[in-house]
Amino acid sequence: MKILCVTAHPDDESVFAGGTLALLARRGAEVGILCCTRGEGGEAGEPPLAAREELGAVRSDELRCAAHALGCGSVDFLPFRDPDIGPDNTLYAFAGSTGDVVARMEACFTVMKPDTVITHGSSGEYGHPGHLLAHQACLESARRTGVPFLYSFHADHPDHPRKRSANRNDPADFVVDIGPAFEQKLAAMSCHRTQSALFVRRASAEAGHPVPLRDVILRLESFHRVFPRGHLPPDGRDIVSLLGEFLAPLRRGEP
């Protein structure tokens, strides 16, 4: 089974789906990462670990390191530049229109022929315009190229460990207890050295108290099936059947 995780920036794959990607790879799936940018406009670390003009190359290497830790076989990049963060920490999307991204992404899907694509949620997690753009372009590209299954990560459910950033309009279809892959996820997150201060700051702000790096890592990862909806085809090619005993109980009802 070929699984492709499509993200806006290096680190999104580890933060939102790292444990699940590692478990899928362990189960024999061929897991790849397609990243729309090299994270050129993001943070460079505290203290800075790279000059601004080198940040894209450094973060590309960080993503390759994380992919290796997770057992992912391929890392590819679309040629979009992550724009610098604006005044008052304003975040921007990495391309002018969804159409610009779809053209590139569609070409990749046609060559890679993934059975399943996993990407950002419909609210862009914490509303990041780059995450929203990646989600929209991925949805369109997957439809156009006939990708059988499309999932979004950080889906909402009553026991979500980070309620404030959960994608409110994406009810979780399954939740993964990534415990057996925790050390791999920790290793992958640690590869993103330029981003570790940001991980701690963001998680602490969301929790309302200081959170150490180890506790930044989500032990439950949740996914929404964008399509197909309704009953799954009974051919067993879905990632849910591959994850088996790693699935955690999912409480339904009002989040």
Q: For binding to Zn ion (CB under 5 A), which residues are involved?
A: 8-9, 12
When the beta carbons of 8 and 49 are compared against Zn ion, the nearer one is 8
- Residue 128: CB minimum distance to Zn ion, A: 6
- Residue 124: CB minimum distance to Zn ion, A: 9
Q: Provide the 8-state DSSP code for 10.
A: T
Find all residues with CB under 8 Å of 15, minimum gap 6, and list them: 189, 199, 218
When the beta carbons of 213 and 232 are compared against Zn ion, the nearer one is 213
Please give the single-letter amino acid code of residue 135: H
Residues shown for the chain: 255
Find all residues with CB under 8 Å of 236, minimum gap 6, and list them: none
When the beta carbons of 12 and 221 are compared against Zn ion, the nearer one is 12
- Residue 3: CB minimum distance to Zn ion, A: 19
- Closest alpha carbon to 115 in 238, 255, 204: 238
- Residue 247: CB minimum distance to Zn ion, A: 26
Are β-strands 155-156 and 247-248 bridged in parallel, bridged antiparallel, or unpaired?
Answer: unpaired
> In the bound complex, which residue of the shown chain has the CB atom lying closest to Zn ion?
9
When the beta carbons of 43 and 106 are compared against Zn ion, the nearer one is 43
When the beta carbons of 12 and 156 are compared against Zn ion, the nearer one is 12
- Residue 95: CB minimum distance to Zn ion, A: 14
9: which 2 tokens?
């920036």
- Closest alpha carbon to 155 in 119, 115, 129, 130: 119
Q: Is 120 helix (H, G, I), strand (E, B) or coil?
A: coil
